[in-house]
Each structure stands twice: as structure tokens, then as C-alpha cells.
């Protein structure tokens, strides 16, 4: 498993395409079952929002995803920085994204952070 993280609009998906040549599924709209067969999922933070909106357990889903699709490349935005949202639902989402990110990073052989289009390997080796 490979995790690619960083802020919004930093070039994460472009990096995945150019370095891994993978087919990318959209976490904002893909079927949940598709995640278990996908090569790469971008916007995983949006998939988590959809899970929470349906009352599903994002940590359980993420753990299962890591065990059933270990070759997956996950692209997830860092959303925990900045002003804490006023709405409880948004705070819970942020926390769940952070927890899911920890699960994914723990299960990943490689974790790459992209900032301004520049990749930095923060776990494992470069592919």
C-alpha cells in the first residue's frame, strides 16, 4: 500500500499518475465496493465523509480496505490544519479523516507527502 498525502491542490493525483501509471477512482463518487478493487483512490477524505453521512464506521471500513486491498494507492488530503470548524459534524469528519490516515499510514509501505508539487518520502522508500 502507498499513501500520498498533502494539502488540497498540491499535485497529489498528478504525481500518482506520472509515477505509478494507475487508474484513479474518485473517493467523492465511487461505489464503496469499488474501493476494494481499485488501483488508486483519490480524495479518500471525501469517501470518509460519505461513509459518515451513511452512518457507517470509517475506521472499520479503512482497516478492512487495508487488509483486503494491500496494493492500493490512497490519496488523502491533510484537513486537520487551520481553524477548527464550528459544526460538530465537520469536527467529527476531520477527526475520522485523521484516524483513517493513521490506519492507512500504518499499513503502507510508503508514505509520500506532496507540497507545491514536490514529493517528500516520509515512510519507506521511493518507488
The answer to whether 44 and 11 have CB atoms below 8 angstroms apart is no
Mean pLDDT for the stretch of residues 120-124: 96
Crossing angle of helices 88-107/44-53, nearest 10°?
A: 130
State the sign of the Cα–Cα–Cα–Cα dihedral 29, 84, 107, 54.
negative
Alpha-carbon span 43 to 111, nearest angstrom = 16
The pair phi, psi for residue 49, each rounded to 5°, is -60, -40
CA 104 to chain centre: 8
Q: What mean pLDDT value characterizes the chain?
A: 95
| Environment class of 26 (CB within 10 Å of its CB; exposed 0-12, middle 13-18, buried 19+) | middle
3-class DSSP assignment, residue 11: coil
Residues 81-114: tens digit of each pLDDT:
778 878 999 999 999 999 999 999 999 999 999 9
Residue 127: predicted pLDDT: 47
Residue whose C-alpha cell reads 493513521 in the numeric block: 102
pLDDT bracket for residue 125 (50, 70, 90): confident
Residue 65 has pLDDT above 70, yes or no: yes
Amino acid at each position: 500500500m502507498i499513501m500520498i498525502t498533502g494539502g488540497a491542490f498540491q499535485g497529489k493525483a498528478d504525481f500518482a499518475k506520472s509515477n505509478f501509471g494507475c487508474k484513479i477512482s474518485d473517493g467523492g463518487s465511487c461505489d464503496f465496493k469499488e474501493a476494494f478493487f481499485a488501483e488508486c483512490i483519490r480524495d479518500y477524505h471525501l469517501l470518509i465523509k460519505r461513509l459518515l453521512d451513511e452512518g457507517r464506521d470509517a475506521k472499520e471500513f479503512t482497516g478492512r480496505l487495508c487488509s483486503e486491498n494491500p496494493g492500493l494507492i490512497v490519496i488523502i488530503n491533510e484537513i486537520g490544519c487551520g481553524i477548527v470548524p464550528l459544526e460538530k459534524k465537520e469536527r467529527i469528519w476531520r477527526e475520522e479523516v485523521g484516524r483513517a490516515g493513521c490506519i492507512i499510514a500504518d499499513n503502507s509501505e510508503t508514505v509520500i507527502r506532496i507540497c507545491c508539487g514536490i514529493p517528500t518520502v516520509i515512510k519507506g522508500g521511493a518507488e
